[in-house]
Amino acid sequence: MQEIINALSRKLKQIDETATIYQNDVEQGVKEPCFFLMPLITVKQPRIMKQSRIEFPVQITYLPKKPGDHTELLDVQNKIMVQLEQIDLREGISIRGTSMISEIVAGTLQVTCNFNYSLVAADDGQANKIETLEGVNFNGGQNG
């Protein structure tokens, strides 16, 4: 998941190279313009064959150069909505941003974007073991 945050930071730097990007809480001394990245509630949904679907939403908050500059906020909003459709994790591997929602709140831009991916558990030495599905019919018979 940190790999997604790092890739997201790189993409945001392309949107505004003058902006500072914060991945952790900052008590004071924020340098504007800046982006704050905050992971939200992550969901892991089990699938068959030791696979899981991970839903990883991230909230991006943007503080403009001039507080309350709605023109700047709308410009950055448009760039984020386009640029986060796909981010590169590393060479040859990218992930799509989905379910983007944005709003301007108290002079800041807030965008929430989901990054969903599949995760396959590492082989634990039981490669010959077959995962069964309870209640699924195989050749007309009842399994489980």
Q: What is the pLDDT of residue 132?
A: 45
| Region of poorest pLDDT, from 82-86, 91-95, 101-105 | 91-95
Q: What is the pLDDT of residue 90?
A: 83
130 pLDDT band, cuts 50/70/90, is very low
130, with CB counted inside 10 A (0-12, 13-18, 19+), is: exposed
**CATH number for the domain that contains residue 129:** 3.30.2000.10
User: How many domains does the structure of the chain reveal?
Assistant: 1
Supply the pTM of this predicted model.
Answer: 0.78
Q: How many residues can be counted in the chain? A: 144
Give Cα separations from 72 to 14, 50, 76, 107, 135 (angstroms). Answer: 16, 46, 6, 10, 56
Q: Which domain holds residue 76?
A: 2-142
